[in-house]
Amino acid sequence: MAMIQIREALRQAMQEEMRRDESIFLMGEEVAHYNGAYKVSQGMLEEFGEDRIVDTPIAENGFAGLGVGAAMAGMRPIIEFMTWNFSLVAFDQVINSASKIYQMSGGQYSVPIVFRGPNGLAENLGSQHSTSVDSLYAHFPGLKVVTYATAYDAKGLLKAAIRDPNPVVFLESELTYGIKGEVPDEEYVIPLGKADIKRPGNDVTLVTWGKQLFNVEQAAAELAKQGVDAEIVDLRSLRPLDHETLFNSVVKTGRAVVVHEGFLFAGVGAEISARIQEACFDILQAPVLRVTNRDVPQPYATNMEQLVVPSPERIVQAVRQVMER
Amino acid sequence: MAESLTLPKKSSLEPLDRESLTHLYREMLLIRRVEELAAKAYTQRKILGFCHLYIGQESVAVGAAASTGDDYWMTAYREHGQAMAKGMSARTMMAELFGRATGSSNGQGGSMHLFDKENNFMGGYGIVGGHVPLATGVAWAAKQRKENKVCVCFFGDGAAHQGAFFEALCLAQLFKLPVVFICENNFYAMGTPLHRQSAVTDLSLRALGVGMVSEQFEGFDVEVVRDRVGAAADFARAGNGPVLLEIVTYRHRGHSMSDPAKYRPDGELDEKKKSDPLAITRARLADDFGMTDADFDAIQESVETEAQDAWDFAHASPEPDTSTLYDFTYAPQEG
């Protein structure tokens, strides 16, 4: 076991996969000579050369589409968006091209591609650099949508995403690239579509994904002091969704709170809540609550920004509400 | 521009003999007849949705296929003729238009989404200009694998104003990718004529800003198209980078089956029909290769048979099995 930063875990995942499969290449803005805007790809140009670690001009629609075409032709591109906010000018390629080509071609052409980059709150970057795109991409069949909180999950999930024969939207975070975690020395891959119980508990299920796990863990620690034993389900994958782990937990606890960045209205939490109530209605002791971003574009000022996103306090408050029913 | 490369005046292809040119004539005629039958099927509601006919533009697809037959192709939604020129059978195509299990995409795609992997025909796309970047990726793969193949990417004059088109040109030139971009300028983006779409009506000039070699020419003569696309493919194949060809053509029908094309000035269609690709090549075969009316009648008859057979095949084919609904969303993991 080694303690490494999440950016290193992601880099190791790409390096290991690129060593075993020559058809993989990494393309995006500043990934090569600059070593990555967030240093995820540091040193990779040196190892793999300019044909496989490729800088692009600022043309997201163009290079996302290039990736899709290369994937159709049998390569395995990793397309880095400097942030997922910029993917919105490439939305057509991810949705109308990547997610539909296998279907439109009647199964003749698959699109084994990974689109990756940081997503969601990045602290004081204003509204155009703070969007959570989870619900936008999770809406579409044909895509897989994967995210992580820990270094261990980051590496294992990215390796699985690269090996997947379908387009995978891989959501990272600027704020957690530097967080360290234990990663085994031997090779491992985490299958997509498997949630992970990050904390077992009996009283309430806290459902989350991505970096909100850290807020949820803080909230669970506080709740423990108050005598509430929370179970944390880290979904890790929004598509496919691990219903089994999710429902088993809710059946055990009878209560659920969903915590995520992005908006309440038509957010992924709405889908999770609906599925829980459809499957576990008779067992639920209280309505499923959601803790999400407040319904405004992200403000810049620190106090305002912190007011918008989920916090341990808001999570504790929501749990107290479902416990009192 | 640092370097001023131009296309060779002639391609590396030998001129066509009577047999080869007759073959291209037959291909064009088959596309024409299949499209006419598609129109008929549409009015009978056997073909549904949108249906964009290629009538009038056959020389572009057939001429391009005669010089880039083994290469990768990508195109937009007016692609029935291109799919057939690239090797898709009339049966398979018509069955897809009819929404049948025997169609090229098992009835999943329809008129706008024809795909034929066996012939490197990489699709029919319905977002104007959206597929142009994909072609750079196919060329990227071909270049990395040293396949000596190019990617031919077709789109219309309407796509020449899309950001995706411009981004694709930028990337293709920057990475010197073997792409032959073919803008089929048929003068109308749906109902909007070229002069109301663009301040610059010579669309080949779009290449100048990215330093790309380009050429504009009339594409009614299949031999001219074959040679100029051949020259562009030679150029790209040799590692010189991409080429933008603007091929001036004309569609005889409306944008789609629901468009009566009332926006055309009086007399324009009749004038343009004087340069009907079929008439041009027929005259050439008669004048220079001594083809007789009886020869043409025989071709016509075999084409009629093949086109009608495609209709019959599509009509008799089963609808897709509803139990396969979820089979086309995710590719299965290999191994």
Q: Give the per-residue pLDDT at A24.
A: 98
* pTM for the structure as a whole: 0.97
Q: What is the pLDDT of residues A32-51, one digit of tens each?
A: 999 999 999 999 999 999 99
Chain B contact set for A97 (CB, 8 A): 125, 130-131, 134
Distance CA B217, CA B262 (A): 27
Would you call B107 and A106 a contact, using CB atoms and an 8 Å cutoff? yes
- Tokens 């200009």 sit on residue: B129
Q: Phi and psi dihedrals of A246, rounded to 5? A: -60, -55
Distance CA B124, CA B79 (A): 6
**Is A33 an active-site residue?**
no
Mind listing the pLDDT tens digit of every residue in chain B (335 residues)? 445 678 989 999 999 999 999 999 999 999 999 999 999 999 999 999 999 999 999 999 999 999 998 999 999 999 999 999 999 999 999 999 999 999 999 999 999 999 999 999 999 999 999 999 999 999 999 999 999 999 999 999 999 999 999 999 999 999 999 999 999 999 999 999 999 999 999 999 999 999 999 999 999 999 999 999 999 999 999 999 999 999 999 999 999 999 999 999 999 999 999 999 999 999 999 999 999 999 999 999 999 999 999 999 999 999 999 999 999 999 999 86
Q: Give the per-residue pLDDT at B93.
A: 98
Chain B contact set for A92 (CB, 8 A): 127, 130, 164
Q: Give the per-residue pLDDT at B5.
A: 75
Q: What is the pLDDT of residues B182-195, one digit of tens each?
A: 999 999 999 999 99
Q: Give the per-residue pLDDT at A112.
A: 98
The tokens describing A325, both together, are 């029913």
Nearest-Cα residue of chain B relative to residue A167: B330
Nearest-Cα residue of chain B relative to residue A99: B329
Q: What is the ipTM metric for this complex?
A: 0.97
Query: Taking the alpha carbons of B144, B145, B149, B153 in that order, is the dihedral positive or negative?
Result: negative
Parts of chain A with a pLDDT under 50: none
